[in-house]
Structure 1
Amino acid sequence: MAYQSKNLSVIAYANGFTFWHYATEDTAVSVATDGYFNDAADMLRVGDVILANVETAASPSTGFFSVANNTSGAVDVNDMTGIGTSNSN
């Protein structure tokens, strides 16, 4: 799969910072690939944070991406930092 604009939504916006939500069947590695979010380059800014639900059809996981670079329409996000990656209970 590829980036789908219908799956990216704003959770909060303040002082030039946007907190986003994105859901996809793609893996975290795919989403972190340079250029995955290029079609959203006009909305994403360096420092924005994306709360993501990835692999929603297989082995769902949740984490955060941050926008590391957005230059001339080329968007790069940092690798996903997982939430709840272990459960000992």
Structure 2
Amino acid sequence: MAYVTSNPPKLIAQAITGGRIWKYDSADALADVRVSGYFSDGYKLGMRAGDMVIITDTDTSATSLSFVNAATASAVDLADGTALTATDTD
């Protein structure tokens, strides 16, 4: 699928001097979301290099952690990311 600006990443935390944490929920898989330029308005929203991004694939409930690798007015690029897995051995 493709990113739509009506479902932007949400800023959930921000330090006084930078360092933001974003949350993004979409039916798109991490492999799609992490591609450079996926967030077409990411820079305008305030995404900057080093910001953390928590991504949840709403189709599978898979959650991943990534960060903004690069951000310019024309493209935001996320690092490959790490899938977060839950182990419940009780």
Normalising by the residue count of structure 1, what TM-score does the alignment of the two structures yield? 0.83
Unaligned stretches of 5+ in structure 1? none
The number of equivalent residue pairs is 86
Q: How far apart, in 2, do the equivalents of 1:73 and 1:28 lie?
A: 20
Q: How far apart, in 2, do the equivalents of 1:51 and 1:26 lie?
A: 13
Kept after mapping to 2: 8 A contact 1:67/1:78: yes
SS at match of 2:32: helix
Q: Tell me whether 1:87 sits opposite 2:82 in the alignment.
A: no
Q: Tell me whether 1:4 sits opposite 2:11 in the alignment.
A: no
Q: Tell me whether 1:53 sits opposite 2:85 in the alignment.
A: no
* % identity of equivalent residues: 31
SS at match of 1:41: helix
CA RMSD of aligned residues (A): 1.7
The residue number in structure 1 matching 2:41 is 39
Unaligned stretches of 5+ in structure 2? none
